[in-house]
Amino acid sequence: MSRAWIYLTVLPVALGSVNFDTCLAQVRNGDWGLTGGTDNQGRPVSNISLATAITYDLCVVACGSGSEPFVWNIFSQQFSAWLVSAETLMFRVVWPREKTQIRASEQR
């Protein structure tokens, strides 16, 4: 059972992982032709070495259809920063209401 779990979870990630930074560098070098490079707004660039993005069609051909591997350290830092911000906002919204209700009941 444990071997099957390892094969089903680790193997597809190892085989299907893509490094998009390396792929964009190869496109900028002209390894995949001189067309398909765009700027960040999707407008074609005249010089492929100035491309900051690429078309979807070129991405599938040059990089493949996989995804980048999941990096737990990056996710946990970003998620914890979001979680702390959300909790802080939630407590700031809830806490003044409780104080207002207590003061209103004291005045009666």
Query: In the 3-class helix/strand/coil scheme, how is 53-106 assigned residue by residue?
Result: EECHHHHHHHHCCCECCCCHHHHHHHHHHHHHHHHHHHHHHHHHHHHHHHHHHH
pLDDT value at 84 more than 60:
yes
Q: Is the pLDDT of residue 70 over 50?
A: yes
- Say what the pLDDT of residue 71 is: 80
> Does residue 22 or residue 74 have the better pLDDT?
22
Cβ atoms of 72 and 13 within 8 Å: the answer is no
Q: What is this structure's pTM?
A: 0.51
Q: Mean pLDDT throughout 64-82?
A: 84
Which residues are paired to 37 by β-bridges? 54
Q: How many CB atoms lie within 10 A of CB 78?
A: 10
State the residue for tokens 């998009």: 20
Element (H, E) at 25: helix 20-28
